[in-house]
Amino acid sequence: MIKNHTQNVIEITEKYSAHNYHPLPVVIAKASGLWVEDPEGNRYMDFLSAYSAVNQGHCHPRIIKALKDQADSCTLTSRAFYNDQMGPFLKLLCEITQMEMALPMNTGAEAVETAIKASRRWGYEVKGVIADQAEIIVCSDNFHGRTTTIVGFSSEPGYKKGFGPFTPGFVTVPYGDIAAFKKAVNKNTVGFLFEPIQGEAGVVVPPDDYFSECARICHQEKILTMADEIQTGLGRTGKWFCVEHYGFKPDMYILGKALGGGVIPVSAVTSSKEILGVFTYGSHGSTFGGNPLASRVALESLCVIRDEKLVENAAELGPWFLNELKSIPSKHILEVRGKGLMIGMVLKKEARGARRFCEALMHKGLLCKETHENVIRFAPPLVIKKSELETALEKIRSVLLSPELL
């Protein structure tokens, strides 16, 4: 049998790549906006957006131009010297997050590590916690990245099995439970690290008053609220930041993914001078953090979200799309939940897993991915139009009502 290009690519990838992912059997060779294309020329709607890293759509012309222009002038200086791109990027980021300072890194996990370090040092130097006693409260079913420290406070055995020993100083509470949160607070608590909606856990939305009440307690007890908006931020939920839905401003924003416009990894923590001011020369850093190429791309990525009103688009289309999904009369659907264009469709146990539905959707030209066993996540680029969502709905309806997937 003659193999096509897709089969060859999958074979070589499976042979040489560590098996730390379980991708759908599709190869993407080209991408633009909402659409991606395999080597055989089949086109698909991307309803995953690289886990929300492509909010601006694939290969956005303005972002690609910024990348190319900057690549022609200067790409990396390290922080041993100043570069002329980082300052303007951080200025805009601070304006958008309404914070005083920012610390740029590369991946989401590095930004989470940065927030952890900042809150601990703030705890010792500002709050007055006894050395090495700092505690950070985290939520069950969290996903904050893959470093050893971060997986150490995961409640998902698959993320941590075989990787111990882990960093101490984290206390886990059930997501959404205010009483449990109150109980976990003590004089050593320096921070509360949370996802405003838990993406990897299956688009889990907490009760409306959960975070505002936790934030009130944190304020009262001098505990830093650290919002991991790596997936929920930058327009995804129909607000610039998901915490805005809950009516409070955190002490720290942790950002990544779409900050790099789906082009290169860019992450950052933004906060006050009091908090990020705890970092002194040499206490933290990254060779590539704040590099001119990344800074120029990130600046343009933010401008695209602002100028193209992508937050407004998610706010307008998201609730409509969610209701349309809810009205699909499929016996497989247990619940549809989310905010903006971050939507999880929870299937019943009897549906025998979300994966086979994602595979069927792939054959219909729509790419999405199961999260955990039973949830299909829909998170298209925020540049999507209503007519495209209508096309997607037809595909989703036909799969969920298909007699072949009983």
Ligand X SMILES: Cc1ncc(COP(=O)(O)O)c(C=O)c1O
For residue 195, state whether it binds ligand X (rule: CB under 6 A).
yes
| Closest CB to ligand X among residues 129, 143 | 143
> Which sign does the torsion angle of CA 48, 54, 60, 65 carry?
negative
Q: How far apart are CA 399 and CA 26, in angstroms?
A: 18
For residue 200, state whether it binds ligand X (rule: CB under 6 A).
yes
Q: Pairing state of beta strands 342-347 and 43-46? A: unpaired
For residue 256, state whether it binds ligand X (rule: CB under 6 A).
yes
For residue 145, state whether it binds ligand X (rule: CB under 6 A).
yes
Catalytic option among 89, 143, 241, 357: 143
User: Minimal CA–CA distance to 53: which of 198, 203, 243, 259?
Assistant: 259
Closest CB 237 distance from ligand X, rounded Å: 12
Transcribe 337-394 into DSSP letters: EEETTEEEEEEPGGG--SHHHHHHHHHTTEE-EEETTTEEEE---TT--HHHHHHHHH
| Closest CB to ligand X among residues 203, 400 | 203
Q: Pairing state of beta strands 135-139 and 170-173? A: parallel
Bridge partners, 336 (sequence order): 345
For residue 231, state whether it binds ligand X (rule: CB under 6 A).
yes
Is 192 among the residues known to form the active site?
A: no
Closest CB 332 distance from ligand X, rounded Å: 26
For residue 377, state whether it binds ligand X (rule: CB under 6 A).
no
Q: For the CA atoms of 332, 337, 341, 347, what is the dihedral angle to 10 degrees? A: -20
Catalytic option among 228, 288, 321, 369: 228
Closest CB 158 distance from ligand X, rounded Å: 15
For residue 338, state whether it binds ligand X (rule: CB under 6 A).
no
393 phi and psi, to 5 degrees?
-60, -40
For residue 112, state whether it binds ligand X (rule: CB under 6 A).
yes
For residue 144, state whether it binds ligand X (rule: CB under 6 A).
yes
Is 117 among the residues known to form the active site?
A: no
User: Which residues are catalytically annotated?
Assistant: 143, 228, 257
* Residues lying near ligand X in the complex (CB under 6 A): 51, 107-109, 112, 143-145, 195, 199-200, 228, 230-231, 256
